Amino acid sequence: MQKSAISPTRQENYPEWYQQVISEADLAEVSPVRGCMVIKPWGYAIWERLQKILDARLKDTGHVNAYFPLLIPLSQLEREAKHIEGFAKECAVVTHHRLISDGEGGLKPDGTLEEPYVIRPTSETIIGTMYSKWIQSYRDLPVLLNQWANVMRWEMRTRLFLRTSEFLWQEGHTAHATAEEAVEETLKILELYRCFVEGVLAMPVIVGEKTEGERFPGAVNTYCMEAMMQDGKALQAGTSHFLGQNFAKGYDIQFTDQQGQIQHVWTTSWGVSTRLIGGLIMTHSDDNGLVLPPQLAPHQIVILPIYKKEEDKHRVLSFCKDLQEKLHALNWRDERLRVHVDMRDIAGGEKNWQWIKKGVPVRLEIGPRDIADNAVSLYRRDQAVKERHNTAVAELSLMLPTLLEEIQCGLFTRAEKYRHDHSVHIQNLKEFNAYFEEKNEGITGFAHCYAVDSPEVEQYLKPLKVSARCIPLEQDGKEGVCIFTGTKTRNKVVFARAY
């Protein structure tokens, strides 16, 4: 039995396995700044792919990009008290504007600011302030803006990609003339996110509405996507918020309607972040490292030249570069294939394992004997490491686009089956307690049951370290009884332990 590349394995220590996958794939590492990470080139290349695809889809729906300041005056945050209360404990505050010598070879802050600045935990307040200047008439609406930025939330317990003090994201902020338009926007973005995460990251999600206790501070309704990781825990993969007129009233965002009346706008906000990379790792990766869906992989195909004799080097490298050009001319899902030749002068076995751990979907090994046979040794990352496919070069042009599609769809199907196999439908409170009690040695996943949205339910869940993940938008319409309160309801809720 072959030893795995990642130690410990998922079964031995899942949290440590996750950290090791990141390390071995060279995605990111802890920085000298408390709670923050350095995203390394391979990790950032994945983020760039994610950003490129999502940005195009947002623009296709009429949204445009803008940029707003990193620092937010404290007085602006205070104007929306309910919102800032939800982030107050996580805010990093700038109080000085310069450094001076401390006389002992060090530096100390100097020049106290008249008003402190908060490093943005999110941008509703600063954007709301600007919208109050830009929006005057119904003719100015809707405003459909998106921002790619970094934010900071001073987290106590951090984990690379999943929860860091600083992270990268996109945050959309829109303003509308009516509540109906704003709700439509909120749900349209939720569906856009679902299609993106399922189609590109191959990560199945449940879309639904957050309960009141899980709602975004200041929102009327929060909608979300919940994904299941391989340890059975839920990960909130993205959110879309209907903010009503709460921020519009807090920041005086008003317009004159078609009847000449002064009205407050209706706003939304929504976002996904580098947390998606953490979700990607925990959805698809195995005990040999990262597994990337072809849609997201910076390199979909890596060609590995194999030679021992110096006289074979030129011939093998030339053959590999010619093949790279031919394959790069192929198309899959309206893009040229992304093909890389690893020409580094290191041992072939070491090269091979590096790309396995980085999760590249397809590896092609080519040596002198392969050239003589006009063939390649093809390996798929979604299959066993040593499962080799001897393939004629002439077949690659027809084979590879189909193969990438098969891998992409196969990863989604596999993750969807995992979620199905680790989901239960609970009929009563006794079953619920038994499923989530600590002595349950199996992987707990998603529990679906009838429940009402109430503080009483939230309090019951706390000792179990379980939360209501969402009220799925898709319901069967049947009436049942809340297993916690005995109240009649038509809503089933998804419960799970979560990141």
Least Cα distance to 139 among 258, 15, 48 occurs for 258
Give the model confidence (pLDDT) of 9-62 as tens digits.
999 999 999 999 999 999 999 999 999 999 999 999 999 999 999 999 999 999
According to the model, what pLDDT value does residue 3 have? 73
Give the model confidence (pLDDT) of 272-308 as tens digits.
999 999 999 999 999 999 999 999 999 999 999 999 8
According to the model, what pLDDT value does residue 97 have? 97
> Is there a contact between 447 and 426 (Cβ–Cβ < 8 Å)?
yes
Question: At 39, phi and psi to the nearest 5?
Answer: -90, 115
Question: Mean pLDDT over all residues of the chain?
Answer: 95
Contacts 24+ apart (CB under 8 A), 47-51: 47/168, 47/274, 47/277, 48/298, 49/295, 49/296, 49/297, 49/298, 50/200, 50/201, 50/276, 50/277, 50/296, 51/148, 51/170
According to the model, what pLDDT value does residue 78 have? 86
Is it the case that residue 196 has pLDDT exceeding 70?
A: yes
According to the model, what pLDDT value does residue 85 have? 78
According to the model, what pLDDT value does residue 2 have? 58
Measured torsion, CA atoms of residues 195, 201, 206, 209, in degrees rounded to the nearest 10? -70
**What fold, for 301-403?**
Rossmann fold (3.40.50)
Beta strands in 62-165 (DSSP E): 64-65, 71-73, 93-101, 107-119, 143-152
Residue % of the chain over a pLDDT of 70: 98
Structure tokens at 466: 């379980």
According to the model, what pLDDT value does residue 441 have? 65
Q: Where are the domains of the chain?
A: 26-97+105-284, 301-403, 423-496
> Is there a contact between 455 and 213 (Cβ–Cβ < 8 Å)?
yes
pLDDT band at 439 (very low <50, low <70, confident <90, very high): low
CA distances 210 to 260, 283, 319, 401, Å, are 37, 22, 55, 39
Is it the case that residue 367 has pLDDT exceeding 80?
A: yes
**What fold, for 423-496?**
Translation Initiation Factor IF3 (3.30.110)
The yes or no reply on domain 26-97+105-284 and CATH 3.30.930.10 is yes
Give the model confidence (pLDDT) of 129-173 as tens digits.
999 999 999 999 999 999 999 999 998 889 999 999 999 999 999
Is it the case that residue 116 has pLDDT exceeding 60?
A: yes
Instruction: Determine the Cα–Cα distance for residues 62 and 462; give it in Å rounded to an integer.
Output: 42
Q: Give the distance from CA 12 to its chain's centroid.
A: 25
Counting every residue written for the chain, the total comes to 499
Which of 151-155, 259-263, 482-486 is the least confident region? 151-155
Mean pLDDT to the nearest integer, 455-475: 95
pLDDT band at 115 (very low <50, low <70, confident <90, very high): very high
According to the model, what pLDDT value does residue 156 have? 84
Is it the case that residue 83 has pLDDT exceeding 80?
A: no
Instruction: Determine the Cα–Cα distance for residues 40 and 42; give it in Å rounded to an integer.
Output: 6
According to the model, what pLDDT value does residue 87 have? 79
* Local structure of residue 426 (DSSP, 8 states): -
Q: How many Cβ atoms sit within 10 Å of the Cβ of residue 309?
A: 8
According to the model, what pLDDT value does residue 204 have? 98
Query: For residues 348 and 401, which has the higher predicted lDDT (pLDDT)?
Result: 401
In a 13 Å sphere around the CA of 413, the CA atoms on its Cβ side amount to 7
Query: For residues 77 and 461, which has the higher predicted lDDT (pLDDT)?
Result: 461
Q: Which residues contact 482 (CB under 8 A, 6 or more apart)?
A: 450, 451, 452, 457, 488, 489
> Is there a contact between 340 and 302 (Cβ–Cβ < 8 Å)?
yes
